[in-house]
Structure 1
């Protein structure tokens, strides 16, 4: 019996076409979903990389300050540690952006900073001589200052601007975490002694090049991101394409492309002039006030040990007069970390016009703490009230300092190119952005250095004022 051929109806054709369209739509949705997942994974890698950069780069600075009492003889002023820990970093931040010609060779910089940091810590650990230890601290400080400058500049190589801003947010968060992690690390290893404790910390800088080579996504990875971003500057920031050939002598050529132009001294002066009052002065003032509080006023904010029967909670924290200063530092470091993490936590950045606000508030906090130290908000028998007020003020101090740091560098990272600029090619625009964010990096370090000079007479004057009103606690330390 002869078989009958199947009859294909119009309805069957319509069903087949509909099924094909659904399959294509499903495939497209799956592809877009996978692309979004890949982008989110890259964003997590980017954020974690810059967090690690900020943490490791700044943690040695904190370890040195935390170990100051153990590094120098009792008769040596501890301020010399603070000076050697900040002055070389300031030199790096002032000299490098203005003296460097051409594009930045990130690989060579990072490897050099890593090596210098490790050598510096090994010198501190390996020699008992005061001068040798101070030299090692200077090495580590210079490397830290140049490293911070380099990572801030590295953030500008990422586009669109939302991605670059994310880099700044996580780097700032890492620098804030360094205060807590560094103090904790030294607390844990100080029992091993300077030689072993500081020696162990010399391996920490090795994390930076490992993160750079193994974890950090290349800046080309976000050119065609499928994730929604804010309005960005990518349309006005042409991207220097990735090199198509490998240059074994300079891996940066592969990562960032070849340089075709350099900024002249007149170009740099033209770029830096608008930044002086806009970014540098507020950042300098914030850090001048902040570190004057930390180094000159906080050591005098002392109170009697609270009795357990009257102040149950305070007595659990304060066991001697010497516990007050570490408490203030813990409060300060915690609030700095939280405020420097504000952008990475998803909070909106401060508007450009509000950048001077943290400096204004910081100056007001400094005045109030000077008043509390010299005269007192309440009578001495109400020490719990005074402690609570100081706790709140130092929390605000840390918040102001952290917000000033992260928002200043975030805003300059997001700036559009100057339309009056002669730079039209991608390389020139990239160098301008790198220079601008690097040129203001010395403002905070200069503020810290000036504060270290102001802090000593401030502490002595406040202690004298306390003695004159019969409060002798500062003399007993």
Structure 2
């Protein structure tokens, strides 16, 4: 049986005010994606600088403690002459930056629909603000880690909220969201580097980033033009209301009157999803969640487990410079592919996972047997890795939105986002034994 028309069906071309509103919402979701993912990207760069300064600035350390540290550094240097390893893998910071977000995505889909969107956005912005302040003014390691965790909480809550929020708008806003999240990687990597290279301390640079939680609030409360049926501060704004409203009828472009009336009545009368329906919906989402998990596991296994080991001493670029170029090219690849939804849509999302796993295996073998000649060969592989990851993200959420039933769509978009965070967390855990193995050679 043919599925009823979607609440957020792809819009037909419009003129005048409606086209302006459509572009305004697209830009609003682009800014939401940028501001929401920006703290996550920044913390992966800035937390290390803050922790390093705290360690080096500890003037009260005992002589015994300093000598023990020197012995540890010497042992690390002796055991890592082949790979120029750091004592701790970069996956350690990633783990602190993803676990709170993972917890949010695992458990909140069953509860979050009961929380009004306005409150969710305020909580996300407040958590991000707290993260920048805590890491900037931290005087102990635990304060920095707590700050990173607040950033992860705010980003995870925001991603779930804004993905499910998209059901109240035309589906093209998912392209704006995806492009904005991709832009956050490039903007975060560049802006933090520019500010620190200009002479600002990591603390001052992070305080400058407080503009982004404010921009998040402006993008949501000022930029977006939601339908009349949408209520910011109550739980009444649901898809089954939007379907039955005039705005909902308008968004169901081209639906027959009889079909629309039947769909609206059925969805209104059904009410919110039960726990049984949610679990059944999750089962149907596995064809999207599993590819998302695999592509992000392979992607972040490369980024946090292998990138720092792909060092070529003969290059005019230092180890740190090679690593920064890897990260920047990866983020550019993600940005390009997350902005591609307006040009191409690919339904066979498992292809991205398979190709990304091939990438991970290739680079793992390259680290072990060192058959790649120089960093210039690695650069296009890393860019290609970013393309696969970004394309997987936007296509998976686009087709979830397109193929989900009207009543299930809001929950489905929120629940499926657990795939990327779970893949990232597993990759961070896997990077520890891999790092230890290669650095012991």
TM-score range, shorter chain: 0.7 to 0.9
2:177 aligned partner: 171
Which of 275, 282, 305 aligns to 1:265? It is 275
Give, in whole Å, the separation in 1 of the partners of 2:107 and 2:141. Answer: 27
Post-superposition shift, 1:433? 1.2
Post-superposition shift, 1:237? 9.5
1:455 aligned partner: 431
2:211 aligned partner: 203
State whether residues 50 and 174 of structure 1, in contact with CA within 8 Å, keep that contact through their aligned partners in structure 2. Answer: yes
Give, in whole Å, the separation in 2 of the partners of 1:407 and 1:101. Answer: 24
CA distance 1:226–1:414, shift in 2 (3 Å):
closer
Which of 148, 156, 159 aligns to 1:137? It is 148
Give, in whole Å, the separation in 2 of the partners of 1:147 and 1:174. Answer: 13
CA distance 1:228–1:269, shift in 2 (3 Å):
closer
CA distance 1:299–1:142, shift in 2 (3 Å):
same
Q: Aligned runs of 1:71-470 on 2, under 5 Å? A: 71-73=50-52, 77=88, 78-100=90-112, 102=114, 104-158=115-169, 163-164=170-171, 166-190=172-196, 191-219=199-227, 235=260, 261-276=271-286, 278-306=287-315, 315=316, 318=317, 320-343=318-341, 346-351=342-347, 354-377=348-371, 383=373, 386-417=374-405, 429-430=406-407, 432-464=408-440
State whether residues 39 and 226 of structure 1, in contact with CA within 8 Å, keep that contact through their aligned partners in structure 2. Answer: no
Give, in whole Å, the separation in 1 of the partners of 2:379 and 2:254. Answer: 39
CA distance 1:416–1:433, shift in 2 (3 Å):
closer
Post-superposition shift, 1:239? 6.6
Q: Which has the larger radius of gyration?
A: 1
So what's the TM-score if we normalise by structure 1? Answer: 0.72
> Matched residue pairs, number?
373
Q: Which has the higher contact order (CA 8 A, sep 6+)?
A: 2
State whether residues 236 and 416 of structure 1, in contact with CA within 8 Å, keep that contact through their aligned partners in structure 2. Answer: no
Question: Which SS does the other structure have where 2:15 is aligned?
Answer: helix
Give, in whole Å, the separation in 2 of the partners of 1:405 and 1:392. Answer: 20
Which of 68, 77, 99 aligns to 2:47? It is 68
Question: Which SS does the other structure have where 2:168 is aligned?
Answer: coil
State whether residues 101 and 263 of structure 1, in contact with CA within 8 Å, keep that contact through their aligned partners in structure 2. Answer: no
Give, in whole Å, the separation in 1 of the partners of 2:410 and 2:339. Answer: 22
Give, in whole Å, the separation in 1 of the partners of 2:247 and 2:322. Answer: 48
Post-superposition shift, 1:57? 0.3
CA distance 1:235–1:169, shift in 2 (3 Å):
farther
For residues 180-217 of structure 1, the C-alpha deviation after alignment (integer angstroms, 9 at most, x for no partner) is 11112211333322332212212311112211221111
Can you give the 5+ residue segments of structure 2 that lack an aligned partner in the other structure?
1-12, 56-68, 70-86, 229-245
For residues 22-70 of structure 1, the C-alpha deviation after alignment (integer angstroms, 9 at most, x for no partner) is xxxxxxxxxxxx9603222112101100000000000011111111321
So what's the TM-score if we normalise by structure 2? Answer: 0.78
Post-superposition shift, 1:129? 1.1
1:28 aligned partner: none
Give, in whole Å, the separation in 2 of the partners of 1:229 and 1:194. Answer: 54
